[in-house]
Amino acid sequence: MLKKTVFLTAMSLTFLAVPLWGKTVINEQVQGKQLLTIKAESDKGRISRNIYGHFAEHLGRCVYEGFWVGEDSDIANVRGIRTDVVDALKKIQVPVLRWPGGCFADKYHWMDGIGPRDSRPSMINTFWGGVEEDNSFGTHEFMDLCEMLGASPYIAGNVGSGTVKEMQEWVEYMTADMGAMAKLRKLNGRQEPWKVPFFGIGNENWGCGGEMTPEYYSDEYRKFQNYVVRFPGNENMKKVACGPGDLNLHWLEVVMRNCNRFMDAITLHRYVFTGNWGVKGSATQFNSELWVKLMENTVEIDSMLEKFVEVMDKYDPRKRIELYVDEWGTWWDQEAGSHPGFLYQQNTMRDAVSAAVFLNSFNAHCDRVKMANIAQINNVLQAMILTDGPKMIVTPTYHVFELYTAHHDATLLESELVCDPLAGSEKKIQSVSVSVSKDSAGTINITVANLDPENSTEVICDLVGLTPKAVTGKVLNGKAMNSHNSFDTPAEVSVTELKDIELQADKLTVTLPAHSVSLIQIK
């Protein structure tokens, strides 16, 4: 295994004609030296903890078994919600949870999910698996879950098959303290209104949410949002417009132009894989070439966000409107033997490194990106947790979120990375991805992903404006690029101490293993 050297030093500025703070530059003239400069006293804005949000859809075993087992289950639970999953998720400090979809949101009729469970009507989940949905997990159960997690609820409303009246009454049911819907909520056991900080008006309305044009959706959005009333006590609820999937700037342009006065946020969805939408590739069986291809697709999020921000700035130069990447992650062919349409996939170090690249990019654009929601939290796509009946394991991606809690509500610091291209990358993407913040205690937090699947990287670091007193490090890694946790080997991939780290005076030396994600903390 080879080892290359990365210099994180103020001297890196001598290699550049013009500093590009917060940017990544591929420089083939500086072979073997990835150069990162950090300004310890800078302030590039606050990294919202909601960037580390999650998504739970009525899809496969995300909600049912993932969260909901019922009060009579042999699996330990509180009011039907399994305790082992909740306890695990508390450790990664889930800030916000989006529900009930996804595509399911624009088929969901909320009144079917309230009242006595044995009298709730069932439906067929035609989007995901064609299975029966008995509505035993509804508004009260979801809000109970959020309170257990300490997470803010993000509701996705039904525009595709719903009505204005239905959406208006759902908001009233959840957040009003008087009126018919509040009385109904109280009759169903909840006296006090809930806080709903975020309300999405439709989901993927260009596709499964109604196959609409942006012009048509703009009119629908303006109509629906007019009746999504902010009741006293919930005056700051943000109205979220449906943005595009991937780089559809026409949709974004039309909706921003027509609706900017009526929205508080707009969304973006971004999934990555190595194949195509028909055959996306295996989650666990891949070589270094496919690893690199995924990293190339993942890194595109940075230029995509820049293009989005350019359009948003055109119609909202004061940056009042927030950008929510409320579905993102890797998407692979579902595991053999799993239920068709349930989107169950394994989760390896490749997924973990991809997640780190996404999160580093969201941090870098924290002036606009105020929320992101990985898809999905349990048993679906790039999940944090996998269950098998009473069994439960956490995934490598879970551990990325564990490490990145250091960035929650921290201050983004100015940084510049001059980086070698990743070996084997035709697009010559960077081989290292970095994000740097300072928390309220003054600790510098550096999250760094080594995108190279085969070679370790030595890091030499000086900080501008700070003489380090102490340094600690943690690393997430596995024996191979496709290492993953299973129910037989639940700790194959875990967070361990980053031992190859040394501080002498103002110089820090670190070796990052291949295919790894690390957190370095400097005081």
What's the pLDDT at 257? 98
To which H or E segment does residue 86 belong?
Answer: helix 83-90
User: Structure tokens of 90?
Assistant: 């508390």
Q: Which residues contact 329 (CB under 8 A, 6 or more apart)?
A: 271, 272, 351, 354, 355, 358, 374, 375, 376, 381, 382, 397
pLDDT string in tens for the chain (523-residue length): 445 544 444 333 222 323 333 555 555 444 445 677 888 899 999 999 999 999 999 999 999 999 999 999 999 999 999 999 999 999 999 999 999 999 999 999 999 999 999 999 999 999 999 999 999 999 999 999 999 999 999 999 999 999 999 999 999 999 999 999 999 999 999 999 999 999 999 999 999 999 999 999 999 999 999 999 999 999 999 999 999 998 899 999 999 999 999 999 999 999 999 999 999 999 999 999 999 999 999 999 999 999 999 999 999 999 999 999 999 999 999 999 999 899 999 999 999 999 999 999 999 999 999 999 999 999 999 999 999 999 999 999 999 999 999 999 999 999 988 788 899 999 999 999 999 999 999 999 999 999 999 999 887 787 888 888 889 999 999 999 999 999 999 999 999 999 989 887 777 788 899 999 999 999 8
Which of the residues are catalytic? 204, 327
Q: Which residues contact 72 (CB under 8 A, 6 or more apart)?
A: none
At residue 47, φ and ψ (nearest 5 deg) are -85, 105
To which H or E segment does residue 362 belong?
Answer: helix 349-364
What's the pLDDT at 452? 95
Q: Are 446 and 508 in contact (CB under 8 A)?
A: no
| Beta-bridge partner residues of 327 | 269
Give the predicted TM-score (pTM) of the model: 0.94
What's the pLDDT at 152? 98
For the chain, the residue count is 523
HEC per residue, 307-335? HHHHHHHHHCCCCCCEEEEEEEEECCCCC
- CA 267 distance to own-chain centroid: 12
> Cα angle vertex 343, ends 337, 347, to 5°?
90
* H helix runs in 202-348, sequence order: 214-226, 249-259, 288-315
Task: Count the Cβ atoms, other than its own, within 10 Å of residue 309.
Answer: 17
Q: Are 91 and 189 in contact (CB under 8 A)?
A: no
What are the C-alpha distances in Å from 86 to residues 112, 198, 354, 427? 25, 22, 25, 41
What is the spatial distance between Cα 503 and Cα 509, in angstroms, rounded to a whole number?
A: 6
What's the pLDDT at 12? 30
Cβ-based burial of 292 (10 A; exposed 0-12, middle 13-18, buried ≥19): buried
What's the pLDDT at 8? 46
What is the spatial distance between Cα 117 and Cα 134, in angstroms, rounded to a whole number?
A: 8
What are the C-alpha distances in Å from 414 to residues 12, 43, 446, 464? 14, 7, 12, 10
> Cα angle vertex 491, ends 487, 492, to 5°?
95
Give per-residue pLDDT as tens, 67-78.
Answer: 999 999 999 999
Give per-residue pLDDT as tens, 392-444.
Answer: 999 999 999 999 999 999 999 999 887 888 999 999 999 999 999 999 999 99
